[in-house]
Copies of this chain bind each other. A is one copy, B any other.
Amino acid sequence: MKPRSLAATTLSLALAAVLAPNVNAQSAQAIPGYTMSHKMLAKAPYTLADLESLKKTLLITDEDVRYLRMSKAILVDQTEAILDVWYGFVASTPELVVYFKNNKTGAPDAAYLGAVRKRFGQWIADTADANYDQDWLDYQYEIGLRHTTPRKNKTDRADSVPLVNFRYLSALTIPVTTTLKPFLAKKGASAADVEKMHAAWVKSVLMQTILWSHPYVREGQF
């Protein structure tokens, strides 16, 4: 790192500390299309009470929330390595990479993949935070909308396919959490804690994909 860029980084960090005590939120502001807590977001069609019922069915307890939060310090500074594995899986699975296809070239759209990747990194931190408030709920609905017609591609101005098929959303719970497990184990947590963090992640990701599915589901059947 060059001296000038180091100085700029130091200044930027200092400003961040002054302007925003929540470093997550501060860094997230730099991510295009990351609109958690934005006032313009639509209110989710499911309530916090619906979420509590869903959590109960998924056996998500306060202990799971504690283990999700424990995972944050372990995962956040491995974010790029985790994303490399997840993107490697998508890239090597034709059924998945097609959702990033550039309609003009027929090839995966690098700019689109890159834009989504930044939000995907933030999603790791947000999943670990497990702050299940109205802002979080509204943003889950927004994420669902962005996978479906007519909202897909709009956030990143991509020229790509108009829909991610429903069946792959909840299915991705498995590769995402299976490949996460070794990263959970890399910072010296006990095997029992790794198991519990992993189980909490499986529940949380499955819950989120169910919430994201709302726009796909027929009226009144969610």
Q: Which of A30-38, A52-60, A120-128 contacts B (4 or more CB under 8 A)?
A: A52-60
Q: Which of B54, B58, B95 contacts A53 (CB 8 A)?
A: B95
Asked if A71 CB lies within 8 Å of chain B CBs, one says no
Asked if A145 CB lies within 8 Å of chain B CBs, one says no
A58 CA to B170 CA, complexed, in Å = 9
A181 CA to B96 CA, complexed, in Å = 31
Contacting B at CB under 8 A, from A19-67, are 46, 50, 53-54, 56-59
A14 CA to B54 CA, complexed, in Å = 47
Top 4 closest pairs, chain A to chain B, by CB: A57-B171, A53-B95, A58-B174, A166-B217
A65 CA to B214 CA, complexed, in Å = 31
Q: Which of B56, B93, B202, B216 contacts A93 (CB 8 A)?
A: B56
What are the residues of chain B within 8 A of A206 when measuring CB–CB?
170-171, 173-174, 206
Closest B residue to A149 by CB, please name it: B221
Shortest distance from the beta carbon of A195 to any chain B beta carbon, whole Å:
9
Oligomeric state, in copies? 2
Contacting B at CB under 8 A, from A180-222, are 202-203, 206-207, 209-210, 213, 216-218, 221-222
Asked if A12 CB lies within 8 Å of chain B CBs, one says no
Shortest distance from the beta carbon of A124 to any chain B beta carbon, whole Å:
19
A86 CA to B170 CA, complexed, in Å = 22
Asked if A178 CB lies within 8 Å of chain B CBs, one says yes
Given A57-B93, A57-B96, A95-B57, A170-B167 contact (CB < 8 Å) = no
Contact A174 B148 (CB under 8 A): no
Contact A167 B95 (CB under 8 A): no
Residue contacts A-B, CB under 8 angstroms, 8 given: A46-B167, A56-B95, A57-B168, A58-B174, A166-B213, A170-B210, A206-B206, A217-B218
